[in-house]
Amino acid sequence: MRIRNGKIIKLKGLNNMNYSKKFGLASGAINKSLVSKDKKAKEKFLKAAKQFRDMADLYEEMASLYVAEETKENEDKLTMLIGKLMIALSEIDNIKSL
């Protein structure tokens, strides 16, 4: 079904395909107006993905320090990694709010 001049038009079979080919440009124009929003969303997802990869690396380092010997140096490294993790989480929160 399509709306044309305020009236609903029922289309059947091949006529539906032909009609879509003829008037598909209108829907294409609408989709083109959404392209800029899609690019912004893609950039947002890429930034978030990078942050999550960085967080995974931080967790991996934290896990290796967790099983390592308990020394002041390792505790300091662990504290630093936790700080970096908190910064990464706040950056993800900033990305969400964009």
- Residues ≥6 apart with Cβ < 8 Å to 2: 8, 9, 11, 19, 23
Query: If you average pLDDT over residues 74-90, what whole number do you get?
Result: 93
When pLDDT is cut at 50, 70 and 90, the band that residue 86 belongs to is very high
Distance CA(88)–CA(52), nearest Å, equals 8
In tens, the pLDDT along 15-70 reads 444 444 444 444 444 445 555 678 888 888 899 899 999 999 999 999 998 888 88
**Every domain of the chain and the residues it spans:** 2-33, 36-97
